[in-house]
């Protein structure tokens, strides 16, 4: 049971980090494109759907380890907040350009959130924290 749990925890965390990184990359690329041409590019994938997938992964992690799930939830919540802020904004009233709109979708401090989750997993697995 312990091996099954740790194997699944590793798989779920890997999936969450991959999804999180992919969503961030999509928006980072969009921002770069907008800097050259202020016309919204097509997104290769709906990133709000990616956030819904993250929510499911976090709940699966919670089944296995509450402490690790807290760090996983921080990643999900950061992405969800960006999507909510973007979709809830009155862009006409704000009178911001496409670059500012696109920047709303970028998660600040995402590498640190990923590291916190990795360290949490390492702690749960009884592994030492890597030396800086």
Q: Dump pLDDT digits (tens) for 72-116.
A: 999 999 999 999 998 888 867 877 777 788 888 999 999 999 999
pTM recorded for the entire structure: 0.88
Tokens of 52: 């819904």
* Residue 78, in any domain of the structure: yes
Q: Does residue 23 contact residue 51 with C-beta atoms inside 8 Å?
A: yes
Domain count, the chain: 1
pLDDT at 56: 97
**Residue 13's pLDDT band (boundaries 50, 70, 90)?**
very high
Cα angle 94-50-59, degrees, rounded to a multiple of 5: 115
Average pLDDT over every residue of 53-82: 97
User: Does some domain include residue 58?
Assistant: yes
Give pLDDT, residue 16.
98
Q: How far apart are CA 35 and CA 110, in angstroms?
A: 22
Q: Is residue 130 part of a domain?
A: no
Residue 60 forms part of a structural domain = yes
Distance CA 26, CA 59 (A): 24
Q: Rounded CA gap, 127 and 107, in Å? A: 28
Between residues 122 and 42, the one the model is more confident about = 122
For residue 80, tell me if it sits in a domain.
Answer: yes
For residue 92, the model assigns a pLDDT of 75
The pLDDT confidence band at residue 42, using thresholds 50, 70 and 90, is: low
Domain containing residue 62: 2-124
Residue 81, CA distances (Å) to 8, 26, 91, 130 in order: 27, 16, 16, 30
Query: Does the residue 132 lie in any domain?
Result: no
Q: Is residue 57 part of a domain?
A: yes
35 within domain boundaries = yes
Higher pLDDT, 32 or 24: 24
């Amino acid at each position: 049971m312990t091996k099954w749990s740790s194997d699944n925890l590793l798989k779920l965390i890997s999936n969450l980090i991959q999804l999180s990184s992919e969503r961030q990359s999509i928006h980072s690329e969009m921002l770069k494109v907008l800097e050259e041409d202020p016309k919204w590019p097509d997104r290769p994938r709906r990133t709000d759907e990616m956030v819904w997938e993250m929510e499911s992964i976090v709940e699966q992690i919670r089944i296995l380890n509450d402490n690790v799930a807290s760090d996983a939830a921080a990643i999900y919540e950061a992405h969800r907040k960006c999507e909510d802020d973007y979709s809830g904004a009155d862009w006409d009233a704000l009178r911001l350009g496409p670059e500012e709109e696109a920047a709303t979708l970028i998660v600040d401090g995402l590498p640190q959130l990923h590291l916190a989750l990795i360290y949490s997993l390492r702690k749960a697995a009884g592994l030492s924290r890597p030396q800086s």
